[in-house]
Structure 1
Amino acid sequence: MAKQEQDREDLLRDGRQMAIRGETTMNDTVVTIGFRDAGQMSLYCGPDPVFQFNAGQQLRRVFFEGERYAADARHLVRLDRATRGGKVQFVAKHVSEDRYAAIIKSLDRWIGDLRFVVTQGHAEWRVADQQEAAFHQQLSRWLDAMPQPIEIADSPNV
């Protein structure tokens, strides 16, 4: 997730940290999916929400309803922006059970919709760098291996 508080760049064109990436429109929302070299996946559902996973398919970072979250010892914490000494820092705050449930419910819905369009072939995909076959293979493998329930990573780092 960008550190800037503005809409994201064109991830399909500029998201070079994601070696394989594609986008489609689902529910009137542009959805961008990218995979880093080690298989870590990022799911951008418009500018918000954003879900990022580590190579073990554990949730590591979230941007949801304008707030940032990160994995910390297999729990999500909200990262509140604070300025100290002219530097921006993030302060970790406890996430209520209701808020956690809302985040996971949203993620489950997006993953379910994604599974539907992939299995039914109801999506027109735009894929970067002419890697269409690699993108579809990676996405199918990722969806097939997705653990249920969603697991939270130990840390937000890749």
Structure 2
Amino acid sequence: MSLRCAAMVGGTRVVIGFRSGGQASIYCGEEPVFQFNGSGELRRVYDQGQRYAADAGRLVHLQRIAKVSRLQLVPQPISGERFEEIAASWRDWYARICQTDDSRWLSPDGDAALFLQRLNAWLPGKADLVIASTANA
């Protein structure tokens, strides 16, 4: 991460980082984790021990399949209900993050002002998820 900060949000440590290309990663405790591309589209989610990735504008579950020589992740469709659970989780965290006072964000690099400028520019319009065409950054 090129720019990151952390804050306690409702008793959970939330870490948000931005890469130089504008990609954002949001860690809400250990899970869930939401990763966005430079256009603000969701590209990956880690939730309840499961991995999800963007694939052609929809979210798919990456199922682990053990092969003889390695582990393979196979994309599987998810139900509309599961997608809504993930979207609801995001909306909840999004609301909490938006309500977190700027003074609570702490930077390990000491540049919280630049982080807050980036965060406050990035947040508007992100409550409803837009799924990326691919999981790549």
Q: Same fold, TM exceeding 0.5?
A: yes
Aligned 8 A contact 1:34 1:42 in 2? yes
State which of 12, 30, 35 in structure 2 corresponds to 1:47.
30
Aligned 8 A contact 1:67 1:78 in 2? yes
**2:45 corresponds to:** 62
**1:138 corresponds to:** 118
**1:152 corresponds to:** 131
Give 1:132's aligned amino acid: A
Give 1:73's aligned amino acid: A
Aligned 8 A contact 1:34 1:41 in 2? yes
CA distance in 1 between counterparts of 2:62 and 2:110 reads: 36
Alignment size in residue pairs = 137
1:76-115 alpha-carbon deviations (Å, 9 max, x no partner): 0000112212211101111001000000000011001111
Aligned 8 A contact 2:91 2:127 in 1? no
CA distance in 1 between counterparts of 2:136 and 2:120 reads: 24
Alpha-carbon offset, residue 128 of structure 1: 2.3
- In structure 2, runs of 5+ residues without a counterpart are none
**1:94 corresponds to:** 77
Identity %: 39
Aligned 8 A contact 1:31 1:44 in 2? yes
Give 1:137's aligned amino acid: Q
The SS at the match of 1:130 is coil
Q: Does 1:128 align with 2:108?
A: yes
Aligned 8 A contact 2:17 2:26 in 1? yes
1:25-62 alpha-carbon deviations (Å, 9 max, x no partner): 11111100000001100000001100000000000000
Aligned 8 A contact 1:22 1:127 in 2? yes
CA distance in 2 between counterparts of 1:67 and 1:156 reads: 15
Q: CA RMSD in A?
A: 1.3
Aligned 8 A contact 1:25 1:123 in 2? no
Give 2:69's aligned amino acid: G
CA distance in 2 between counterparts of 1:64 and 1:138 reads: 25
